[in-house]
Amino acid sequence: MSPSTHLVVGPGAVGRLLALHLAAQAPVMLAGRRPLPVRQTLTTPEGESRTRQLVWLDVGHLPPLSPAFLHLTTKAYATEEAYETAMRSIPASTALVLWQNGYSVQPLLAGRHEGPVLCASTTEGAWLAGDDGVVHAGRGVTYVGDLDNRHAGLCRILAGSLTRVGLEAHAVDDIRTRLWHKLAINAAINPLAARFRIRNGQLRDRPFRVMVDRVINEVAAIMEAEGIAAPDMGWHRLVWNVVEATANNRASMLQDVLANRPTEREAILRPLLDAASRHGLVSPCLAGLDAPFGGK
Ligand SMILES: NC(=O)c1ccc[n+]([C@@H]2O[C@H](COP(=O)([O-])OP(=O)(O)OC[C@H]3O[C@@H](n4cnc5c(N)ncnc54)[C@H](OP(=O)(O)O)[C@@H]3O)[C@@H](O)[C@H]2O)c1
């Protein structure tokens, strides 16, 4: 098998986006729980359609494989199961790449997996267009790193491969901080937008604005206690800039609630609430958001 083979487990928006890009330069296999058409179409942010034939595999019945990278692109709540299933068929030393938002599976699998565990934090935007297509809604940047900074070379190799196929990526030595910063943004926007079923921009209005600011204050206190450096622009500016830039968007958690799918609420709020309790902090707004609000 080619040393640059990629196995992508979780054939959703990010998984197909990744597979359809990487397939331009390297052997790619896409594995999931249910059959998908092997011909998949990528619609670019410019509206062009590109169709490619992918190798599709049933994750529950993988042949013995030795990919260079095992990308897990499921939602955070499904990642552990996908990992356990895929690892029945691939060597324990395989490099794992985690694409999830939040900060739940990253420390969990970094502590469990024998091989290198890389984390990818991406601002690429994608959504599924049925079983045979994915829309690349907006170009972003992907940062690749590992929590203990032991695999800088591998991070550079992966970032280089992604960049060459049109997904701008950089290897970084502060992925933990970046994951927490993204989690802070998601915690301030997603649960409120989902609970009140509003677009991101409506968070600027009363009564939501004050709720967002309270959540940011709680998140900032937790981050300080946890030793996560604040962004240069400060937590409030960081969050409000994203609200402005995504004013017309429905947050992913809201989309999940509207579609009656499970949400990533736990992967986003649990790490914050656990850190708060470790440091003896009281976070009533975050705790209040950590309750079911529709979806599953
Ligand atoms: N979409 C974006 O623009 C974006 C951007 C940045 C970060 N992210 C993050 O990337 C992660 C993936 O998001 P997404 O939007 O790509 O989610 P998604 O479209 O819901 O895709 C998840 C995929 O995982 C599959 N899956 C679930 N359990 C599985 C299992 N046990 N084995 C194999 N496959 C399994 C699902 O298949 P079924 O059809 O069988 O359920 C689905 O195809 C999330 O953590 C998200 O927060 C997404």
Which of the listed residues 70, 71, 73 should we mutate to test ligand 1's pocket, taking the one with most ligand atoms within 8 A of CB? 73
- Ligand 1, atom 4, lies closest to the CA of 125
Give the residues of the chain that fall short of pLDDT 70.
1-3, 293-296
Range of the domain at 244: 177-289
Q: Which atom of ligand 1 is nearest to the CA of 17?
A: 16
pLDDT at residue 55, rounded to an integer: 94
pLDDT at 232: 96
Domain boundary among 173, 206, 224: 173
Report pLDDT for 294.
58
203 and 212 Cβ atoms separated by less than 8 Å? yes
The number of the ligand 1 atom at minimal distance from the alpha carbon of 99 is 10
Number of domains in the chain: 2
- Read off the CATH number of the domain in which 242 is found: 1.10.1040.10
Here the contacts of 282-288 (C-beta below 8 Å, separation 24 or greater) are 283/218, 283/221, 283/222, 284/218, 285/211, 285/214, 285/215, 285/218, 286/187, 286/215, 286/218, 286/219
- Whether residues 160 and 222 share a domain: the answer is no
225 shares its domain with 162 = no
**Does 104 share its domain with 218?**
no
How many whole angstroms from 32 Cα to the centroid of ligand 1?
10
Residue 214 class from Cβ within 10 Å (0-12 exposed, 13-18 middle, 19+ buried)? Answer: middle
Name the residue at shortest CA distance from atom 45 of ligand 1. Answer: 100
Cα(176) to centroid of ligand 1, in Å? 21
- Atom index in ligand 1 nearest the CA of residue 124 equals 5
Contacts of 53 (CB under 8 A, 6+ apart): 38, 39, 40
Q: For the chain, list the strands marked E by DSSP.
A: 6-9, 28-32, 39-43, 49-53, 55-58, 69-72, 95-98, 117-122, 125-128, 133-138, 142-145, 169-171
Q: Tell me, what CATH number does 82's domain have?
A: 3.40.50.720
Does residue 111 belong to any structural domain of this protein? yes
